[in-house]
Structure 1
Amino acid sequence: MTRGAFVAYRLAGVFAYPFLRPYVGWRVSRGKEDRQRLKERYGFAGRPRPEAGPLVWVHAASVGESLAVMPLVRAIAEDGIAVVMTTGTMSSAKLVEDRLADCVIHQYVPLDVKPAVRRFLKHWQPDLAIVAESEIWPLTIHELATRRIPQILVNARLSDRSYQRWKSKPRLAEALFETFAHVVAQSDVDGERYRLLGAPAVTVAGNLKADAEPLPVDAEALDALSAALGGRPRFAAISTHPGEEEIVAAVHAQLKWRHEGLVTIIVPRHPDRGDAIARTLGDKGLVVKRRSLGELPDAGTDIYLGDTMGELGVYLRLTDITFVGKSITGQGGQNPIEAAMLATGILTGRFVQNFRDTYQRLLRNGGARIVRDTDSLAAQIDGLLVDPIQRMAMSRAALKSVGEMRGALERTHAALDPFLHPLRLSVSLERRNRAGNGR
């Protein structure tokens, strides 16, 4: 990193450090931090490091990123290499514990301040750091580089906005991105952007999410909601941003008279907006039930508000029509792969530039359709609700699109092999030595 920029960032961390505890405490009060494991956020290890052998640190911020890298993580662990996997959310921590507890050590990611990062690295002493998607933490990157620990970005992407922001600071961007030993990008566009920003080695592998398992589901919660909804017609709007809930509510108001018993499931991108959304929609005369309050939809429910974390897999399994947000009033879109993987036909606004390749494939195959506004969204949902054959065709096309995108896992493995091969050799030699000493 350029010296001036890094010093400024580090000083900001120093001045902010005394205020981190109140901030983290506030997050605990909002259910965003695990009270029992707060020390991990300050770099204090909750588990011992394996006594001998190489160790890889894998970081995936939340549920989507964790699901994407899980097959990769398991493959590394099956080679006998120890893995410590960090995440940033409670729902992703639970997912890792549920699915990978037999082969990885889970920790919460340390805050990007010098004391926390140094404690973490001193304890775990990783031989390799693998980071999913677009997590760029300057001080962590600097500390890894100082220790000459190779850093690799996998499933890497850069949104238009992020790219322009980094492009406006070329010296800082180059100083950061040149420290990555390899960047494994999702698309040709992402790959070219990382090259232009200074990454020395870039491979395009595709999107790991297409090779991942579907979103997890709480079977009990799904059964309860399915029973409460019965055979009522419904559609879902997921990852919505401000302004889109009102559009979806207007669509519901238009269609409820044509489709008796219609229920609309709204899952905001940020669940902490639940109170505001419930008030806004209630003021429009709609009956809102909220998942965060433990409520189930009843006969009079118009909107079921999925204002919880980590339950998108439940909501998507309740419908086969899904509008994906941040695409009408928001900018850039949200990743539709998780919805497509669960065989839902996808509706989206025009502003999906952050996921161009995925949407182009879905649109080409007929698994997604573009809407412009309230009326066009209402028209599409109306047509799909009255025509089950059309819905089934979209669902199949969405699944077909996911199938065509698979293969990123194998290509990512190939890109990582030069870094993992020496670690596998180290494991093999250690096993031979132990066997020899045992004779």
Structure 2
Amino acid sequence: MSGGLARLALYGYRIAGVALYPLASPYLTYRGLKRKEDPSRRLERLGYASMPRPRGPLVWAHAASVGETLAIMPMIRELRRRQIHVLLTTGTVTSASLVEARLGREVIHQYVPLDIKFPIKRFISYWKPDACITAESEIWPTTIAELARRGIPQIRVNARISDRSFDRWRSRHSLAEALFEKLALVVAQSDLDAERFRDLGAWPVIVSGNLKTDTDPPPCDEALLARYSAEIGTRKTWAAISTFEGEEQAAAKVHKVLRPKNDQLTIIVPRHPDRADAIEAMLKEEGLSVARRSRNDPVTESTDILLGDSIGEMGLYLRLTEIAFVGRSLTNEGGQNPLEPAMLGCAVLSGPNLQNFRDAYQNLARKGAARVVRDVEMLAKAVHYLLINDAARRKMMDAGHETMEEMRGALGKTIKALEPYINPLTVTARLQPRPKAAAAR
């Protein structure tokens, strides 16, 4: 694609957005009925603010969903420590709940506006961010163009680009260059990611490592942990977490194969809890007894499956087991984040499709903390081996802890890279006059 065609494509994208804008409100209403939007905050998606803008420097941070939100929380806390206000946008109801639970009033949370001219202009005009920091891999052409037009620095942190995305952008190189060259800085997760961003036109690009290695372990309710641990008793457990369609069926097959040998409890945590009704129906058709976390069902001796269909309780589920299969890797492509289970002392198993987290899995596998299984049969054998072999399981768990310690340091590198942009904001923030009430105290 030539430079002229790239400009034409971006212009067409903007015009299409304007043409479709009248349908935005019905579209959001429909998503609200599907529980994919918060109806009470629908106007935020159209760029209307629901909170006042505070005085002083403000950084707009964006994280698409839960994983990205967790990754940048330590960075956000560092910005707040420097007295810089943070406007954090996310795109999912789940991530909004997470922000409320973990950050509360530390940040101003809004749902990210649709990538259409009118919502974006309205949003930026109101909030007037001094910089925009986006996590990982989302590219929104209208937002990028509007920020660039206003001279607002755009920084990508914890940046990664999947094989599929890279191939797609590379086939439209002029279009990619027209967008990626507008980024003021890219802080990439790995050398491969950095090379890809440079190939697509981004500059400068540095490597920090994965910010997720510097996050705290996911928390849990200690009372709930004690209750479920007592109910499980001495039974062996394993978990299939962040599962996608087809992987719950695989976990059910593994459970049925291993139940006569181990009488284990299987914990299934779907990536999208709104699929829980369908998953429960499937499990019951397989003749399995299901306890659902959302119903607060007790786990009894006859319970086969604990279905973790709650939001924000991964820390609980991972503390109830020492073996975790990480989904979106057996029947879907890309994989999910293996760092949380490794951080909490689980032996990690994964299917072969883990392209989105290749670097993390390579580091874990190099130390013997993670194993890749090709199919359901191999998964069953691996789970059984780890259930009955305490020494092998403990070796993988210890290797996971060691790997996580070695991978830390991304936060410090990221903050250092951001200093040319945030240090002036820190100075401005500290020169701001304090409210009279605060000064009187």
With the shorter chain as reference, the TM-score category is over 0.9
Separation of aligned partners in 1, 2:92 and 2:216: 19
More off after superposition, 356-365 vs 200-209: 356-365
Counterpart of 2:383 in structure 1 is 381
Counterpart of 2:359 in structure 1 is 357
Match of 1:42 among 37, 46, 70: 46
Counterpart of 2:261 in structure 1 is 258
Counterpart of 1:88 in structure 2 is 91
Q: Does residue 1:123 correspond to 2:126, yes or no? A: yes
Separation of aligned partners in 1, 2:16 and 2:310: 32
Match of 1:312 among 310, 314, 317: 314
Q: CA distance change for structure 1 residues 23 and 217 in 2, over 3 Å: closer, same or farther?
A: farther
Match of 2:216 among 206, 210, 213: 213
Q: Tell me the TM-score normalized by structure 1.
A: 0.92
Offset of 1:48 from its aligned partner? 1.0
Match of 2:273 among 259, 262, 271: 271
User: Structure 2: which 5+ residue stretches go unaligned?
Assistant: none
Deviations 1:154-189 (A, max 9, x none): 000011111111112111111111110000000001
Offset of 1:11 from its aligned partner? 2.8
Q: 1:14-413 to 2 correspondence within 5 Å?
A: 14-51=18-55, 53-260=56-263, 262-413=264-415
Asked if structure 2 preserves the Cα contact closer than 8 Å seen for 1:63 and 1:310, the reply is: no
Q: What is the RMSD computed on CA atoms of the aligned residues?
A: 2.3
Give the letter aligned to residue 408 of structure 1: A
Deviations 1:407-436 (A, max 9, x none): 00011011111111222232344459x9xx
Counterpart of 1:8 in structure 2 is 12
Separation of aligned partners in 2, 1:242 and 1:101: 33
Asked if structure 2 preserves the Cα contact closer than 8 Å seen for 1:181 and 1:201, the reply is: yes
Identity among equivalent pairs (%): 54
Give the letter aligned to residue 309 of structure 1: I
Deviations 1:246-303 (A, max 9, x none): 222111111000012x221112223333333333332222223333444343332222
Asked if structure 2 preserves the Cα contact closer than 8 Å seen for 1:345 and 1:368, the reply is: yes
Q: CA distance change for structure 1 residues 298 and 426 in 2, over 3 Å: closer, same or farther?
A: same
Offset of 1:219 from its aligned partner? 4.0
Q: CA distance change for structure 1 residues 363 and 132 in 2, over 3 Å: closer, same or farther?
A: same
Match of 1:417 among 406, 416, 419: 419
Asked if structure 1 preserves the Cα contact closer than 8 Å seen for 2:273 and 2:311, the reply is: yes
Asked if structure 2 preserves the Cα contact closer than 8 Å seen for 1:180 and 1:199, the reply is: yes
Asked if structure 1 preserves the Cα contact closer than 8 Å seen for 2:214 and 2:410, the reply is: yes
Separation of aligned partners in 1, 2:368 and 2:92: 34
User: Structure 1: which 5+ residue stretches go unaligned?
Assistant: none
Offset of 1:323 from its aligned partner? 0.5
Offset of 1:350 from its aligned partner? 2.1
Separation of aligned partners in 2, 1:102 and 1:249: 41
Separation of aligned partners in 2, 1:113 and 1:217: 39
3-state SS in 1 of match to 2:134: strand
Give the letter aligned to residue 307 of structure 1: D
Separation of aligned partners in 1, 2:293 and 2:25: 30
Separation of aligned partners in 1, 2:402 and 2:347: 12
Offset of 1:65 from its aligned partner? 1.4
Separation of aligned partners in 2, 1:32 and 1:309: 14
Q: CA distance change for structure 1 residues 98 and 248 in 2, over 3 Å: closer, same or farther?
A: closer
Separation of aligned partners in 2, 1:26 and 1:293: 27
Q: CA distance change for structure 1 residues 19 and 400 in 2, over 3 Å: closer, same or farther?
A: same
3-state SS in 2 of match to 1:7: helix
Offset of 1:314 from its aligned partner? 2.2
Q: CA distance change for structure 1 residues 320 and 160 in 2, over 3 Å: closer, same or farther?
A: same
Asked if structure 2 preserves the Cα contact closer than 8 Å seen for 1:289 and 1:303, the reply is: yes
Separation of aligned partners in 2, 1:64 and 1:273: 19
3-state SS in 2 of match to 1:256: helix
Give the letter aligned to residue 149 of structure 1: I
3-state SS in 2 of match to 1:58: strand
3-state SS in 1 of match to 2:28: helix
